[in-house]
Amino acid sequence: MAKLEGKVLVAQGGGPTAVINQSFVGAVLESRKFPQVTRVYGALHGVRGIVDEDLIDLTEATTHNLEAVAQTPSSGLLSTRDKPDIEYCRNIFRVCQAHDVRYFFYIGGNDSADTCRIVNEESDKAGYELRVIHIPKTIDNDLKVTDHCPGYGSAAKFVAQAFAGVNLDNRAIPGVYIGIVMGRHAGFLTAAASLARKYPDDGPHLIYVPERPVTKQQFLKDVKAAYAKYGRCIVAASEGIVDPKGKAIVSQFTGGEKDAHGNVQLSGTGALGDLLASWVKAETNIKRVRADTLGYLQRSFLGCVSEVDQFEAREVGEKAAQYAIWHSQDGSVAIRRIGDYAVEYFLAKLKDVARESVEMPARFLNKAGNGVTDAFIRYAQPLIGDLPVMARIAAPSVKKVLKK
């Protein structure tokens, strides 16, 4: 097969992650090794930068600079929330053609995979050889086909460490604590709040995810029971939890600001946490009730990265370049778990990853709908890796002298 000579174009879309630049740098550095690659371009602000021709030339970016960017959270090429329709994708294709781009790598979630699919179809129709690879990333961990998604492990580690600290804090000064975690439809990230539990009474004691509807009545019953048992209660809840009718619980509180995709705003507001806290304050005698919304720190905090996630994010970027440039393939890079813990990479079809997303499988959630199973812990633990040391004092009680 003749070598397809031309340029590489890389872009990043959707919400940033802590390791999305590992994928970007992996794709760039691997691409630069191939003699048939004439230039490696990056698009600023995702597909928006392609149609606007806001491109930068990464061929001469220094390796040191790229390696430093790889360690930096959030999209180094900047991002976009644009969700291209067919006409938008045709414009992407036209820019590729005009710049002699022959390899297009788009790092993103299921919407980005769909953009890849359409651009790929348009180039096929036009008879222009353009290899298109979708490189997976999402803290939601909700892509089809792949075992898990780069970006999830680091966000999950942040959530685990946040709840580990909150658990220690709440032990020191007891009360009810409610932490709201990102996740509109999939509860994977919220479930990660369980991963740093060490002692049997460690929180979170209750975990609510969008996959399991919850009523106010059941929520309060659960909180009261946990508080009675532990003298305190820590709750982890997804921003996207719904009532039995499927209606977002936060919509009982907010006006329901909608984004470009027509979705109700869930992040960047403390509304759901404050709503759940108000329920507990109104319906129980518990005095200390606090709610935090973990917010954007979950996906961007500087200095909290899972090593496994970091390496895998790098590898899916490298693999994208190899599949496209060596093997002339189109598709979405996916991860297959082949050991405990080991993975291999393969190329899924773009149409199999595009558009739709997955939720947590039933085997990861307990029957009561307020916690996770050991199967989930076994699945997610290797993705976040080791956690910092944490221990309780082991010392005997002193016999009372005054009060006997």
Site for a second copy in 226-255 (CB under 8 A): none
Minimum distance from CB of 402 to a second copy (Å)?
Answer: 5
Nearer to a second copy, 147 or 283 (CB): 283
The 8-class DSSP code of residue 264 comes to: B
Minimum distance from CB of 371 to a second copy (Å)?
Answer: 21
- Contact pick of 267, 322, 370, 381 for a second copy (by CB under 8 A): 267
Nearer to a second copy, 246 or 388 (CB): 388
Q: How many residues bind a second copy (CB under 8 A)?
A: 89
Is residue 181 a contact point for a second copy (CB under 8 A)? no
- Contact pick of 37, 55, 237, 347 for a second copy (by CB under 8 A): 55
Nearer to a second copy, 136 or 331 (CB): 136
What phi and psi values does residue 241 have, to the nearest 5 degrees? -60, 145
- Segment 72-91, which members bind a second copy (CB under 8 A)? 72-81
- Segment 366-395, which members bind a second copy (CB under 8 A)? 387-395
Is residue 403 a contact point for a second copy (CB under 8 A)? yes
Torsion of CA 170, 173, 174, 175, to 10 degrees: -80
CB 332, CB 349: distance < 8 Å: yes
Query: Which one of the spans 135-143, 170-178, 327-335, 349-357 is the region binding a second copy (CB under 8 A)?
Result: 170-178
- Segment 117-136, which members bind a second copy (CB under 8 A)? none
Residue 200 exposed, middle or buried by CB count within 10 Å (0-12, 13-18, 19+): exposed
**Exposure b/e, 236-252, CB count within 10 A at least 16 = b:** bbbbbbbeeeeebbbee
- Contact pick of 68, 86, 126, 368 for a second copy (by CB under 8 A): 68
Residue 370 exposed, middle or buried by CB count within 10 Å (0-12, 13-18, 19+): buried
Nearer to a second copy, 213 or 295 (CB): 295
Nearer to a second copy, 378 or 392 (CB): 392
Which residues are known catalytic residues? 140
Residue 283 exposed, middle or buried by CB count within 10 Å (0-12, 13-18, 19+): middle
Nearer to a second copy, 245 or 400 (CB): 400
Per the DSSP assignment, residues forming a β-bridge with 57 are 41
Question: Which single residue is written with the structure tokens 């491109």?
Answer: 55
Per the DSSP assignment, residues forming a β-bridge with 347 are 333
Query: Which one of the spans 143-151, 156-164, 243-251, 325-333 is the region binding a second copy (CB under 8 A)?
Result: 156-164
Per the DSSP assignment, residues forming a β-bridge with 9 are 41, 104
Question: What does the per-residue mask of binding to a second copy show for 286-315, with x meaning CB under 8 A?
Answer: ---xxxxxxxxx-xxxxxx-----------
Tokens of 167: 């658990």
Question: Which single residue is written with the structure tokens 């222009």?
Answer: 128
Per the DSSP assignment, residues forming a β-bridge with 303 are none
Minimum distance from CB of 324 to a second copy (Å)?
Answer: 20
Q: In which element (H, E) is residue 311 found?
A: helix 307-321
